[in-house]
Structure formats: C-alpha cells, structure tokens
Amino acid sequence: MRALEPWVEAPLQSFLAESSARLTLLMTTSGQVVAQHGFGRSLDVMTAAALGAGIVASTEELARLMGTSRFGALVHHGTGQSCLLSAFGTPRGRWIGLVVFGRETSVGIVQLFFDQMVQQLADAAPREQPAVPALAENFEHELDASLRALFGR
C-alpha cells in the first residue's frame, strides 16, 4: 500500500485489513491518484484512475439527467472478481474509491468498511490545506514525483 499523503495511510490500511480487497485506488475526481494498493505497474494505475473518474463523471451526469441525487456507489458483480466504485466527500475535495475484490469477501463487507474508511479519512484530513499551484510547467514533474511515491521507484 502506498499513499501520497501520510494521513491517508491508516484509514486505508484499516480498510484493506478488514475488507480483504485485492486492489484499491483512491483518486480525485479528475483522476489524480492519492493512494493505491495491489497495483504492480504505474500504467495500470493511471489507466484505472482515468477510467474510474470517467465512469463516476458519467454516472453523476446520468443522475442529473434523471433528476435524482448522485448514486452512492456502483458495483460490478463478476464471477471471480467484483468492483466497487464510489465517490465521496473529504475536507480535501471530492474523491473516488475503486475497489476490486474476490470471493474471499463480499460486497456487504467491502461497502461497510469502505464507509468506515470514508469517515476515518474525513476525521484524519488536515484542516489546513497547503496551497499547491497546478501550473502546466510543473505538471510532468508532479506526475513523476507522484508515481515514484506510489511505486517506490
């Protein structure tokens, strides 16, 4: 498990221990990865983050068109593996969780401990957010630094 910010580690570690999730990805709604567990290659993380953020954006737009509130979570039930995708609010903005889990656990367990993690993240988030300029000239450097932090290389 690797996280860009230390305060994310304890809630995520607790979720991983309780849920038995195989893969977990926390990201912003724009697809910027915050933490990951189980991914072996940076390319897989970036692809999953982009697809996850796109799916959440699509479902939120669908909800808007249908005149309903946002969907709480999207669960894809597979035969060997299933996937939970859920957006949630944090003091650092709206984030998305992507969780892949197998038959060794259940969607009920994953949802239960995912909701606990969301609460723990809200409690653990530092209230003072450091100002980080999102300048175009810094983008590639920031991306490289994030990937090094997430994969340790």
Partner 1 sequence: MSPAQATLDRITRIPGVRGALIASTGDGLVVAEQLMDGIDGRAAAALTGSLVARLARTADGAGVRSPVFIHLRGEQGSILAAPGPDELVLVAVVGPEANLGLARLEMLDAAGRLG
Pair of tokens at residue 31: 């697809």
Residue 106 contacts partner 1 per CB under 8 A: yes
Least distance to partner 1 from the beta carbon of 105, Å?
A: 7
Q: Which candidate, 27, 23, 84, 29, places its Cα nearest to that of 60?
A: 29
Residue 109 contacts partner 1 per CB under 8 A: yes
Residue 14 contacts partner 1 per CB under 8 A: no
Least distance to partner 1 from the beta carbon of 104, Å?
A: 9
Rounded to whole angstroms, what are the CA distances from 15 to 8, 117, 147?
11, 6, 22
Binders of partner 1 in range 110-139 (CB under 8 A): 111-112
Residue 32 contacts partner 1 per CB under 8 A: no
Rounded to whole angstroms, what are the CA distances from 33 to 46, 50, 109, 148?
8, 9, 24, 12
Nearer to partner 1, 57 or 107 (CB): 107
What residue spans of the chain are helical by DSSP H?
A: 9-19, 42-66, 107-124, 136-151
Residue 80 contacts partner 1 per CB under 8 A: no
- How many other C-beta atoms are found inside a 10 Å radius of the C-beta of residue 54? 11
Residue 108 contacts partner 1 per CB under 8 A: yes
The Cα–Cα gap between 113 and 2 comes to: 19
> In this chain, which stretch among 25-33, 55-63, 105-113, 126-134 interacts with partner 1, using CB under 8 A?
105-113
Residue 107 contacts partner 1 per CB under 8 A: yes
Residue 55 contacts partner 1 per CB under 8 A: no
> In this chain, which stretch among 48-56, 58-66, 102-110, 134-142 interacts with partner 1, using CB under 8 A?
102-110
The Cα–Cα gap between 87 and 89 comes to: 7
Binding site for partner 1 (CB under 8 A): 77, 105-109, 111-112
